[in-house]
Structure 1
Amino acid sequence: MAGAKPGVNRVAGLPFSQACENNKQPILAHLQVHFADCQQVLEIGSGTGQHACHFAPALPHLVWQTSDQPHYHEGIRAWLTAYPRDNLRQPLSFTVGQDPWPAPGIDGVFSANTAHIMQPDEVNVLMQMIACHLPANGVFCQYGPFCFDGQYSSDSNRAFDQQLRSQGYGGVRDVEELQAWGAGLQLQEVLALPANNHLLVWRKP
């Protein structure tokens, strides 16, 4: 479920994504605002574990629950062992379309660079699950490249989408499509971030 195949952090011997390193601080600045009232956040598609280890210390008021497909767990656990935090939880197994909702009591959800990797039917299921399981006033922060009204936000995103689809991935999703699939969620903010990415802030009324 996570994004591009990670490399290895040669210093620490940990799986490493340069994209995570580049975007973690701009994302965090917004999460500190939108997750201010959350108590338990589920990260869907924790990938290498880098985001979790960066976000959890800066959000000490909440529990950060990691999750991903089982083959990512070893790397996530390695990061959590290297950078332990009391509010950081070991990964749960969650493969969209196969597994049930992995954690009760969640009032916040975060997912980065997953919607364009997953197939459209899987993203549809994911949006429905989040809309179903978030409580009233729950928040979903979704990061990545997106299309708007059928238009790419940049030429680089157009080329990226073509590359993804040629490799068998689902491709860059249109925000209108996500709104239809996530009926029950309201898109409150669309925040522009570096490298032609956006953070979509959804809330369940």
Structure 2
Amino acid sequence: MNNLDKPFSQACENNKTPILEVLRQAFRDRTRVLEIGSGTGQHAVHFAAELSHLEWQTSDLAENHPGIQLWLAEAQLPNLYPPIELDVTQRHWPQGFDAVFTANTTHIMPWEAVIEMIGRIGEALPEGGRFCQYGPFNYGGRYTSESNARFDIWLKQVEPSQGIRDFEAVETLARQAGLELLADHELPANNRLLEWIKRR
């Protein structure tokens, strides 16, 4: 793999600025962020460059590491760290983080993995820690747009265990994990950014 082979997501390019505006506030007093599912690495590079007070730890399944490494190698940011291997269902999670960020993972992983992820985040975060979760969600069992309805059909055709999740179900998991919703930010392209805080 060389830099010409760097993975690229147009969606990441489109949503990085509105997400950043929320993270500036949500992570303003945080120090170490674990990004779950760093994907191409584009978000990590953009956010670490703009939020230089943070140590940004990338993570993903091993097969995505080479692409992430290409983005990190080009950026050469001192506060951005090489990806660690993380499957959200694994027994042992990395520790020492006071914030967690994930984008476009909740509708890709099976629901059982979503349950594991949110439970583990609740265990790993200290009191007052923040979790920011970006992606599409349904409300009251309904799609928020026709495009989301089409997207959900496509996801299920690719893999039946995928799909846009109900906000209420996610909130129930979060509450059980000691996470309280601070804000539900409306972002472009019918996506949301859910901002959670870890309570006792």
**TM-score of Structure 1 vs Structure 2, range by shorter chain:** over 0.9
Which of 40, 43, 63 does residue 48 from structure 1 map onto?
40
Contact persistence 2:128–2:197 (CA under 8 A): yes
Q: Which amino acid aligns with 2:57?
A: Q
TM-score by length of 1: 0.92
Q: Give 3-state SS (helix, strand or coil) of 1:86's partner.
A: coil
* CA distance in structure 2 between the aligned counterparts of 1:89 and 1:181, rounded to whole angstroms: 29
Question: Which 4+ runs in 1 deviate beyond 2 A?
Answer: 10-13
* CA distance in structure 2 between the aligned counterparts of 1:109 and 1:177, rounded to whole angstroms: 20
Q: Give the superposition deviation at 1:99.
A: 4.9
Q: Among the aligned pairs, what percent are the same residue? A: 49
Which of 139, 142, 159 does residue 148 from structure 1 map onto?
139
* CA distance in structure 2 between the aligned counterparts of 1:63 and 1:192, rounded to whole angstroms: 26
Corresponding residue of 2:85: 93
Which of 3, 14, 21 does residue 22 from structure 1 map onto?
14
Q: Give 3-state SS (helix, strand or coil) of 1:131's partner.
A: helix
Which of 11, 27, 32 does residue 24 from structure 2 map onto?
32
The reply to whether residue 65 of structure 1 matches residue 57 of structure 2 is: yes
Runs of 5+ consecutive residues of structure 1 not aligned to the other structure: 1-9
* CA distance in structure 1 between the aligned counterparts of 2:120 and 2:162, rounded to whole angstroms: 19
* CA distance in structure 2 between the aligned counterparts of 1:142 and 1:53, rounded to whole angstroms: 18
Corresponding residue of 1:195: 189
TM-score by length of 2: 0.94
* CA distance in structure 2 between the aligned counterparts of 1:69 and 1:41, rounded to whole angstroms: 18
The reply to whether residue 84 of structure 1 matches residue 79 of structure 2 is: no
Runs of 5+ consecutive residues of structure 2 not aligned to the other structure: none
Contact persistence 2:3–2:70 (CA under 8 A): no
Corresponding residue of 2:152: 161
Corresponding residue of 1:120: 111
**Larger % of helix: which?**
2
- What is the number of equivalent residue pairs in this alignment? 196
Q: Which is worse superposed, 112-121 or 181-190? A: 181-190
Q: Give 3-state SS (helix, strand or coil) of 1:25's partner.
A: helix
Q: Give 3-state SS (helix, strand or coil) of 1:111's partner.
A: strand
* CA distance in structure 2 between the aligned counterparts of 1:28 and 1:77, rounded to whole angstroms: 21
* CA distance in structure 1 between the aligned counterparts of 2:133 and 2:11, rounded to whole angstroms: 15
